[in-house]
């Protein structure tokens, strides 16, 4: 029988790691890059810049959330 005081399901992680934020950043970056590429009549450059922007945003957001989690755990 499980002890309700030590129930590990209450202390579960959100399940969002850096890869999920990277995927969100990539999808946003590709969509924004495609729109800008169509706007400036060069779709390949727009998508390439969108992918780069998405990777940068995804890694930055994922890393900052991981840093905040680790700082919170040490207190």
φ/ψ (deg, to 5) at 64: -70, -35
Which domain does 38 fall in, by range? Answer: 17-70
Predicted model pTM = 0.55
pLDDT digits (tens, 9 = 90+) for 38-59: 887 888 888 888 888 888 887 8
In a domain, 54, yes or no: yes
- Which residues 6+ apart lie within 8 Å of 21 measured at CB? 58, 59, 61, 62, 65
In a domain, 10, yes or no: no
Q: For the chain, how many structural domains are there in total?
A: 1
pLDDT digits (tens, 9 = 90+) for 16-39: 566 677 777 778 878 887 887 788
Q: Quick one: which of 7, 55, 61 has its CA closest to 30?
A: 55
């Amino acid at each position: 029988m499980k002890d309700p005081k030590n129930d590990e399901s209450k202390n579960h992680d959100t399940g969002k790691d850096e890869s999920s934020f990277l995927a969100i950043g990539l999808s946003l970056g590709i969509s924004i890059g495609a729109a800008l590429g169509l706007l400036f009549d060069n779709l390949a450059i727009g998508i390439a810049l969108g992918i780069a922007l998405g990777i940068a945003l995804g890694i930055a957001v994922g890393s900052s959330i991981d840093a905040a989690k680790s700082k919170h755990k040490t207190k």
